[in-house]
Amino acid sequence: MQHQIDLTPLGLATGAVIAVSRAGHRQIAEQGAATAETPFRIASLTKPLTAIATVLAAEAAGVDLETPVVDLGASSSVADPGLTVSHLLAQTSGLAPVVTGEAVAALGDGEDALGKAARLVLGAGQVRRPGDRWEYYNGNYFVAGALLASLSGDRYESALDDLLLRPWGLTRTTFAVPEDLIPGSECGRTLPVTGYPRGRRPSGGLCATASDLLTVGERLLARPRLLEVLRTVRTRREDPMRYGFGWAIGRSGQMYLNGRLPGYRAAWLIVPDHDLVVAGLAAGSEALPALARILSEQQASLTGDEIADDIDAFAA
């Protein structure tokens, strides 16, 4: 059964795509120059992919996710003894959120850029005990990416490729800027294509297509044990958000997040109990409220929930 995908909220956005998978049956709505195979910058939608690969790497290495970070590699030698892999992926690390994107970019793009970024984050110390409070911080994923590299014995990028991108058939998901990357826009102005600092890659550096994002969701739905690890709520009742590993968790078990970079907006939704995956990508900095509304509409008849504001407000 085909469900309507109303792109009206997107207005005159020059390039946008909404891709929906219901029990594996795909439906695509496209606007402007974008298709389901057009690569966009997906910003923080990178984090769930880092989380998935880290869980897989830990499993392969026989490492429990509650293992202290300090036991897992040179980059983590200054970590708080109570800080675990789980705390990083769940954004409950308690690390001081002081390391900026600019500071990480200044580390350059050498082979050790990510290791340096992780040491910078851990060296800033704690503002609270691990597990005490949820706080969104890209630095958690700089460290998680360095741990993924350590667990796999390879570079972060290679580990992600070997554990996830190639085995799952994500052929258009890459850190290299694709030649056919749709250019981002802001206030009607096309922005120049730029690189993304290597030390920040685990938190937001990927380019991907809507088709590949559907594939990730479909693969997760087919792997219930892995899905359960990711969607288990790791936060406390008093925290501002219910959060698993890389995903916010809605009141009916929805998994969602958004991504934001200059010229691009992205949103991703999985509703496991209804075999629903929705990805929205737009080449426009003003498009997030519209993407959130469209994604919410796709799940509303299944869950009875209105989650557009939640998707829009997610702290990417």
Instruction: Tell whether 189 and 288 lie within a shared domain.
Output: yes
Domain tally, the chain: 2
Instruction: Tell whether 186 and 294 lie within a shared domain.
Output: yes
Report the amino acid identity of residue 282: A
The domain spanning residue 253 has which CATH number? 3.40.710.10
Q: Tens of pLDDT along 204-229?
A: 999 999 999 999 999 999 999 999 99
Q: What is the pLDDT of residue 78?
A: 75
Instruction: Tell whether 152 and 82 lie within a shared domain.
Output: yes
Instruction: Tell whether 102 and 87 lie within a shared domain.
Output: yes
Residue 73 has pLDDT above 80, yes or no: no
| Tokens at 226, concatenated | 């892995």
Report the amino acid identity of residue 96: A
Q: What is the pLDDT of residue 11?
A: 84
Q: What percent of the chain has pLDDT over 70?
A: 97
Q: List the Cα angle 28/33/36 in 5-degree steps.
A: 30
Instruction: Tell whether 113 and 132 lie within a shared domain.
Output: yes
Q: What is the pLDDT of residue 187?
A: 87
Q: How confident is the model at residue 22 (pLDDT cuts 50, 70, 90)?
A: very high
Task: Point out the domain boundary residue: 161, 191, 214.
Answer: 161
Q: What is the pLDDT of residue 39?
A: 98
CB atoms within 10 A of CB 5: 18
Average pLDDT over residues 253-257: 98
Residue 302 has pLDDT above 80, yes or no: yes
Q: Is residue 3 part of a domain?
A: no
Q: Tens of pLDDT along 178-208?
A: 999 999 999 889 999 989 999 999 999 999 9
Residue 294 has pLDDT above 80, yes or no: yes
Query: What does the mean pLDDT of the chain come to?
Result: 95
Residue 83 has pLDDT above 60, yes or no: yes
Average pLDDT over residues 48-72: 96
Instruction: Tell whether 198 and 56 lie within a shared domain.
Output: no
Domain hosting 239: range is 8-45+172-313
Q: Is residue 226 part of a domain?
A: yes
Pairwise CA distance, residues 156 & 158, whole Å:
6
Q: Is residue 74 part of a domain?
A: yes
Q: How confident is the model at residue 3 (pLDDT cuts 50, 70, 90)?
A: confident
Task: Point out the domain boundary residue: 161, 182, 209.
Answer: 161
Residue 2 has pLDDT above 70, yes or no: no
Instruction: Tell whether 213 and 258 lie within a shared domain.
Output: yes
Task: Point out the domain boundary residue: 103, 126, 161.
Answer: 161
Residue 136 has pLDDT above 80, yes or no: yes
Q: Is residue 302 part of a domain?
A: yes
Q: Is residue 147 part of a domain?
A: yes
Instruction: Tell whether 179 and 151 lie within a shared domain.
Output: no
Instruction: Tell whether 112 and 235 lie within a shared domain.
Output: no
Q: Is residue 117 part of a domain?
A: yes
Q: What percent of the chain has pLDDT over 90?
A: 91
Q: Is residue 167 part of a domain?
A: no
Sheet holding 264-271, edge to edge: 25-32, 15-22, 276-282, 264-271, 255-261, 248-249
Instruction: Tell whether 14 and 137 lie within a shared domain.
Output: no
Q: What is the pLDDT of residue 120?
A: 95
Contacts of residue 219, Cβ cutoff 8 Å, sequence gap at least 6: 168
Q: What is the pLDDT of residue 75?
A: 64
Instruction: Tell whether 157 and 177 lie within a shared domain.
Output: no
Q: Is residue 236 part of a domain?
A: yes
Residue 14 has pLDDT above 80, yes or no: no
Instruction: Tell whether 17 and 114 lie within a shared domain.
Output: no
Pairwise CA distance, residues 197 & 110, whole Å:
10
**Lowest pLDDT segment from 71-85, 153-167, 247-261:** 71-85
